[in-house]
Structure 1
Amino acid sequence: MTDETPDTLLPVTERTRHRRLREQGSRSRADLDAILSDGFVCHLGVVVDSAPMVVPTVYGTDGNTVYFHGSVAGRSLLAAPQTTVCLTVTHVDGLVLARSVFEHGLNYRSAMIYGVPRAVTDHEEKLYGLRCLTEHIAAGQWGYARLPSRKELAATALLALPLDEASVKVRTGPPDDGDGPDAGLGLWAGVLPLHTGWGKPEPDPALDEPVPVPPHIARLARRRPHPGQQL
């Protein structure tokens, strides 16, 4: 944190202030960017028809804005355009298995982004946002597949949320009871890491003839996660 400047720190608001487990909190914008870069599934918390709803969906970002699908939530947000939402991205990096059940936990990285999203209706921005989303998930796919038609664009709900207000937490390392009374119990304790990666590409059975896997998909399939990263 010593190298951080006001331009690289996340602002503190009443919603983003770290009140519990403050040692796991981070104000680094780089940590937020890394968490978003390492994932592509988020959960959108929103009130729909006076009831809370958490919608899993996919997202992409250009570093300033998160673009995400949200058909059900989108209809509600169009009816109530000033509704504040909470968009969450979480990566589980391992189980923290301690000597006592109380000290068990997770190594994780999470980001909660607050704000008022807007429905993207402009033709050019919707293309831009969908390109961000597609390239975020599988870089190179936007230039490989057929681009959406105007009819398909009209049928696609795309929302945009600025990255102006976010809360980030990160937990790494071994259990916290290694220097406490339970250290003398003689029980195994440590971390069970969790890594995820892509498998071998499986061609669509509907292909009329063999089609080679495009290079950008082959590269993605060969990619292996480093510790603390989910693909």
Structure 2
Amino acid sequence: MTDLSSTERTTLRRASERARTDRADLYAVLDAGLVCHMGMVVDGAPVVLPTGYARDGNTLYLHGSTGAATLRTLGAGAAVCVTVTLLDGVVYARSVFDHSMNYRSAVIFGHAQEVTDPVAKQHGLRVLTEHLAPGSWDHARQPTKKELAKTALLAVDLTEASVKVRSGGPKDEPEDVEAAAAWAGVLPIQQVWGQPVPSDDLRGEFDVPPHVLKRAGEPA
């Protein structure tokens, strides 16, 4: 694994001690998340939108409708900034100034390339599907030619990126610790899967598929 790129845009200037420089840290954040925010300029105005994503090696895949102005803009070569944030806890300090959050975040800068080759596009969409819902590509019906024509797939190189991580307890001033006037600590945040809920219009006798049970953390 190689170090992350060091550019003007990826160099952290505030809380630089939270920077992570190993590319493995970038991959870990991206693989753990499900939603990113992609920022760009469309018709002279900034736009930031949440969307699903997936990573394959050093490539990040984004997708959406071919009719979306944002994807057409990116496909035409506009610059993009993609961010992923995982919130791990709220940090309670002895002073409100020192309250904080524990988090893992990644910021990627670059230009998206539209994927038009049929084989490459099929691969990218499979990567997206398997990141969101592992096991679904081989279980559910795959896209038709018409559906593929309506879907834009974009690839963003992960070369220029930064990772920032905050963990641990509050960083209070010594005088606040000495005063012992307030509780301090961390309230952890965890994301958990619930019980699978069948669709109201599900026909036939179906057990919950093993790949769904596995995603939910239940025995298959």
TM-score, L = length of structure 2: 0.94
Kindly report which structure 2 residues correspond to 1:65-104, keeping only aligned pairs within 5 A, or say none. Answer: 65-71=59-65, 72=68, 73-78=70-75, 81-104=76-99
- Separation in 2, partners of 1:77, 1:20: 29
Q: CA deviation at 1:158?
A: 1.3
Which of 196, 201, 204 does residue 201 from structure 1 map onto? 196
Q: Which has the higher strand share?
A: 2
2:205 aligned to which of 210, 215, 218: 210
DSSP 3-state at the match of 1:142: helix
Q: Which amino acid aligns with 1:143?
A: D
Question: What is residue 3 of structure 1 aligned with on the other side?
Answer: none
Matched, 1:64 2:61: no
Contact 2:78/2:111 (CA < 8 Å) preserved in 1? Answer: yes
Offset of residue 119 of structure 1? 1.3
2:176 to 177, 182, 202: 182
Structure 2 unmatched runs, 5+: none
**Matching residue of 1:229:** none
What is the CA deviation profile of residues 116-137 of structure 1, one whole-angstrom value per residue up to 9, with x for unaligned ones? Answer: 0011111111100001111111
Work out the CA distance in 2 between the residues paired with 1:151 and 1:120. 16
- Secondary structure at the counterpart of residue 158 of structure 1: strand
User: Do the aligned partners of 2:170 and 2:184 also contact (CA within 8 Å) in 1?
Assistant: yes
In structure 1, which of residues 113, 117, 123 is the aligned counterpart of residue 118 of structure 2?
123
CA distance in 2, matches of 1:34, 1:52: 28
SS in structure 2 at match of 1:8: coil
Residue matched to 1:51: 45
Listed one character per residue, the Cα deviations across residues 162-212 of structure 1 (whole Å, up to 9, x for unaligned) are 1111011000000001x6100123311000000011100000010123311
2:12 & 2:124 partners in 1: Cα distance? 31
Of 214, 217, 220, which residue of structure 2 is paired with 1:222?
217
Find the aligned partners of 1:171 and 1:39 in 2 and give their Cα distance.
Answer: 16
TM-score, normalising length: structure 1:
0.89
1:114 equivalent in alignment to 2:123: no
* Identical pairs, percent: 53
What CA distance in whole angstroms lies between the structure 1 residues aligned with 2:61 and 2:161? 15
Give the aligned partner of residue 228 of structure 1.
none
The one-letter code sitting in structure 1 at the alignment partner of 2:58 is N
**Deviation, structure 1 residue 82:** 2.9
RMSD (Å), alpha carbons: 1.2
- SS at 1:128's partner residue? helix
1:140 equivalent in structure 2? 135
Rounded Cα–Cα distance in structure 2 between residues aligned with 1:207 and 1:185: 58
Aligned AA for 2:39?
A: G
Is the 1:49–1:76 contact (alpha carbons within 8 Å) kept by the matching residues of 2?
no
> What is the alpha-carbon distance in structure 2 between the residues aligned to residue 59 and residue 119 of structure 1?
14
Report the equivalent of 1:4: none
Q: C-alpha displacement at 1:47, in angstroms? A: 0.6
**Residues paired across the two proteins, number:** 214
Instruction: Give the partner amino acid of 1:69.
Output: H
CA displacement at 1:138 relative to structure 2:
1.8
